[in-house]
């Protein structure tokens, strides 16, 4: 549910409740029967809200206090019968007393069985007028109407408390064949509800995607008469037990908390999230993920700007900036971010993204990338798009056999093959990468160890861990210096073939898998 819908709903409920109570109290100025009161309430609501109103029974009792009970209230905005009523209430109860009414206060309004249906196109299609009296809904061609006694009377009324428990919010779809989106508002409480004051509220609701419980407390108002979207709102929220399994390809239980401040049209949100068991299905390794963020929500289209998001998992942190945006003619929204990681731990990233018992490599990672996550039910690993650069400092392989091969390569490439001592060397990597369709394409990759430099281009399959790379090995030593004895004598004839610009250049290929890489000379490119 977008912030826009949430606050327009609060405004619509507040406005309908005030007009209803105003109509009842206005009607109560003269003797009447229940049917007279019912007729007058319907007429007043239809006039004030530009709506077709249905109302079942309504009864008024004066002793021991004033109590009005109505049933079967349905408000169809602009008389639309092609969709369910905008607001439907099974029963509403107004509680008051004569002293409070003298002060234009109503003690309490209870709404039971509240159901709100937002038609396709969002609240713009049901929003109250942005000009003239806030108790009116007008068409584009309607002119603001002059002030009336009734309008002034409604604005002076204050509802001390409005309660609506176990309400339902339904977002209708343009395509009738697609399922509607439903949110359960377990609790909604508004205090001091009036047009000329800030109105405190508390609400508890179940979020749709990802599912979880939101608890929010704050205030909105005073109501901006000419531009309701400029009505101020402020508060805080908590979001617990949000199950990320609904997003194919990732899992974890997220909790969040934060504050918001702004207007119905534009809200600034500062919050933090905690997902102690976040994981990507391709690896299956849960890691604790925490974020803090500053976001600006544009309620006119639901787009959210994120600047910045600071995220931490294990011993690695990164900063992201971007947003969540609507996509024309496509269900859902796209996430676009620019991510920068300084001094990250390569082993942390590999634990998150690679399905091995332990990370295959350790080192310090620097990374900058564009991140795009399109909408849709496709697995995250398949639809995620990355495009950026990386570098790894002091990299070491955790597989002893692989690291031994790297040590041996450095030793031979440095013409130290006869030395008995084996030294564990570290490797430096750098290059460009592009992720798409579950495949990681690498280009201009350099692998630098003492005595040797490897340049590679190729592709890595995320799910199967397959390697397909080709490039060149540059060595300080001549080919004959990489071995000893008789072999060295034989290879002296090959030294001129591979020696270029003072270094030995050998075309090579890397195949196999991440756990069992195969290094070899690409004989087809020797000459």
Taking alpha carbons only, the member of 297, 344, 296 closest to residue 319 is 344
DSSP H or E segment with residue 50:
none
Q: How confident is the prediction for the chain on average, in pLDDT?
A: 81
Taking alpha carbons only, the member of 463, 517, 515 closest to residue 359 is 515
Pair 265, 7: CB distance under 8 Å? no
Question: Distance between CA 491 and CA 250 in Å, rounded?
Answer: 53
- Note the pLDDT tens digit of each residue in 270-306: 999 999 999 988 788 999 999 999 999 876 666 889 9
Pair 472, 457: CB distance under 8 Å? no
Taking alpha carbons only, the member of 299, 52, 331 closest to residue 174 is 331
Is the link from the previous residue into 210 a cis peptide, with omega within 30 of 0? Answer: yes
Q: Given pLDDT bands bounded at 50, 70 and 90, which one contains residue 128?
A: very low
- Note the pLDDT tens digit of each residue in 290-346: 999 999 987 666 688 999 999 999 999 999 999 988 777 777 788 999 999 999 999
Q: Does residue 236 register a pLDDT over 90?
A: yes
Angle at 343 between CA 337 and CA 344, to 5 degrees: 65
Provide the 8-state DSSP code for 358.
S
Q: Given pLDDT bands bounded at 50, 70 and 90, which one contains residue 23?
A: low
Pair 496, 527: CB distance under 8 Å? no
Question: Distance between CA 494 and CA 179 in Å, rounded?
Answer: 71
- Mean pLDDT of the 204-232 span: 79
Q: Does residue 392 register a pLDDT over 90?
A: yes
Taking alpha carbons only, the member of 320, 439, 318 closest to residue 385 is 439
Question: Distance between CA 187 and CA 71 in Å, rounded?
Answer: 20
- Note the pLDDT tens digit of each residue in 42-95: 887 777 667 788 999 888 887 777 888 889 999 887 777 878 888 899 999 988
- Residue 444 has a pLDDT of 92
Domain positions in the chain: 1-204+218-230, 399-525
- Residue 486 has a pLDDT of 81
- Mean pLDDT of the 490-511 span: 87
Phi, psi of 383 (to 5 degrees): -100, -15
- Residue 328 has a pLDDT of 72
Question: Distance between CA 338 and CA 7 in Å, rounded?
Answer: 30
From the number of C-beta atoms within 10 Å of its C-beta (0-12, 13-18, 19+), residue 135 rates as: buried
What is the residue-wise DSSP string for 308-335? EEEEEETTEEEEEEEEEEE-TTSSSEEE
Question: Distance between CA 254 and CA 273 in Å, rounded?
Answer: 7
Taking alpha carbons only, the member of 316, 261, 262, 324 closest to residue 291 is 316
Q: Does residue 14 register a pLDDT over 80?
A: no
- Residue 483 has a pLDDT of 85
Question: Distance between CA 75 and CA 47 in Å, rounded?
Answer: 12
Taking alpha carbons only, the member of 64, 58, 63, 65 closest to residue 43 is 58
- Residue 32 has a pLDDT of 54
- Mean pLDDT of the 214-222 span: 87
- Cβ-based neighbour number of residue 132 at 10 Å: 18
Question: Distance between CA 524 and CA 336 in Å, rounded?
Answer: 42
Q: Given pLDDT bands bounded at 50, 70 and 90, which one contains residue 146?
A: very low
Q: Given pLDDT bands bounded at 50, 70 and 90, which one contains residue 24?
A: low
């Amino acid at each position: 549910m977008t912030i826009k819908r949430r606050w327009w709903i609060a405004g619509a409920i507040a406005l309908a409740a005030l007009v209803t109570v105003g109509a009842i109290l206005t009607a109560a100025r003269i003797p009447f029967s229940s049917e007279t009161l019912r007729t007058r309430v319907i007429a007043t609501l239809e006039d004030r809200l530009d709506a077709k109103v249905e109302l079942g029974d309504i009864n008024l009792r004066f002793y021991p206090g004033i109590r009005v009970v109505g049933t079967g209230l349905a408000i169809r905005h602009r008389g639309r019968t092609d969709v369910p009523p905008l607001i439907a209430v099974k029963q509403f109860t107004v509680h008051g007393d004569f002293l409070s009414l003298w002060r234009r206060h109503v003690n309490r309004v209870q709404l039971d069985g509240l159901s709100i249906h937002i038609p396709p196109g969002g609240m713009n299609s049901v929003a109250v007028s942005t000009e003239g009296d806030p108790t009116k809904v007008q068409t584009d061609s309607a002119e603001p109407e002059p002030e009336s006694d009734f309008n002034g009377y409604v604005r002076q009324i204050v509802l001390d408390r409005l309660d609506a428990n176990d309400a339902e919010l339904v977002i209708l779809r343009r395509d009738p064949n697609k399922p509607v989106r439903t949110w359960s508002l377990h609790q909604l409480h508004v205090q001091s509800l009036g047009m000329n004051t800030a109105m405190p509220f508390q609400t508890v609701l179940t979020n749709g995607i990802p599912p979880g419980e939101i608890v929010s407390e704050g205030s909105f108002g005073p109501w901006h008469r000419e531009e309701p979207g400029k009505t101020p709102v402020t508060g805080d929220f908590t979001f617990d037990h949000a199950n990320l399994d609904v997003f194919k390809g990732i899992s974890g239980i997220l909790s969040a908390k934060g504050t918001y401040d702004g207007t119905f049209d534009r809200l600034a949100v500062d919050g933090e999230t905690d997902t102690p068991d976040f994981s990507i299905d391709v690896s299956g390794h849960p890691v604790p993920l925490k974020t803090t963020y500053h976001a600006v929500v544009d309620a006119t289209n639901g787009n959210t700007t994120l600047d910045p998001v600071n995220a931490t998992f294990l011993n690695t942190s990164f900063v992201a900036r971007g947003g969540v945006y609507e996509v024309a003619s496509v269900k859902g929204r796209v996430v676009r971010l620019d991510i920068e990681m300084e001094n990250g731990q390569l082993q942390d990233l590999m634990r998150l993204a690679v399905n091995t018992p332990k990370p295959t490599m350790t080192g310090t990672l620097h990374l900058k990338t564009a991140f795009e996550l399109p909408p849709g039910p496709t697995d995250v690993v398949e639809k995620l798009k990355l495009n950026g650069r990386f570098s790894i400092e002091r990299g070491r392989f955790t597989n002893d056999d692989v690291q031994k091969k790297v040590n041996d390569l450095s030793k031979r490439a440095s013409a130290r093959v006869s030395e008995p001592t084996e030294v564990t060397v570290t490797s430096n990597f750098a290059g460009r990468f592009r992720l798409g369709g579950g495949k990681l394409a690498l280009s201009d990759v350099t692998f630098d160890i003492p005595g040797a430099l490897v340049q590679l281009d190729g592709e890595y399959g995320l799910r199967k861990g397959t390697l397909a790379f080709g490039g060149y090995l540059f060595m300080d030593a001549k080919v004959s210096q990489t071995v000893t004895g008789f072999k060295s004598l034989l290879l002296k004839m090959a030294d001129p073939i591979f020696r270029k610009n003072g270094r030995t250049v050998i075309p090579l290929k890397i195949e196999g898998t991440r756990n069992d890489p195969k290094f070899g000379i690409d004989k087809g490119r020797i000459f």
